[in-house]
């Protein structure tokens, strides 16, 4: 029996900066998961993924990531996606450096 389709977003990495990006409903790439288009239909998700993969001049590694609805927008259902959106794991680098002082 096939698995039930669950909500997804299209995610990739920005070609130049390498940042994690999400495809929005108006065809922009956003670095903010809360702006991502949540896809609830499998055929629509497959089409959006193909459209994203055709934009090789902007992104690399596009794929569908599982999400769940939350009051502030979609939230990842897998730790890998949560880890990716937080940025590099070394201190004082990227998104994790925000709010840290370098005394």
For residue 53, being part of any structural domain is answered with yes
For residue 35, being part of any structural domain is answered with yes
CA nearest to 10, candidates 19, 2, 21, 1: 21
Which range marks the domain in which residue 54 is found? 8-89
> What secondary structure does DSSP assign to 57-81, as a single string?
TTEEEEEEEEEE--TTS-EESSHHH
For residue 95, being part of any structural domain is answered with no
Q: How far apart are CA 51 and CA 10, in angstroms?
A: 10
| Residues 27/34, Cβ–Cβ less than 8 Å | no
Number of structural domains in the chain: 1
Q: Along the 103 residues of the chain, how does pLDDT read in single tens digits?
A: 778 999 999 999 999 988 999 999 999 999 999 999 999 999 999 999 999 999 999 999 999 999 999 999 999 998 788 778 776 655 565 565 666 555 4
CA nearest to 25, candidates 59, 48, 56: 48
């Amino acid at each position: 029996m096939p698995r039930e389709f669950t909500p997804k977003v299209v995610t990739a990495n920005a070609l130049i900066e390498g940042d994690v990006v999400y495809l929005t409903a108006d065809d922009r790439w956003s670095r903010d998961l809360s702006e991502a288009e949540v896809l609830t239909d499998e055929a629509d998700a497959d089409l959006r993924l193909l459209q994203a993969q055709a934009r090789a001049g902007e992104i690399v590694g596009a794929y569908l990531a599982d999400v769940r609805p939350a009051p502030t927008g979609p939230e990842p259902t897998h730790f890998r996606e949560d880890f990716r959106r937080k940025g590099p794991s070394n201190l004082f680098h990227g998104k994790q450096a925000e709010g840290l002082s370098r005394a």
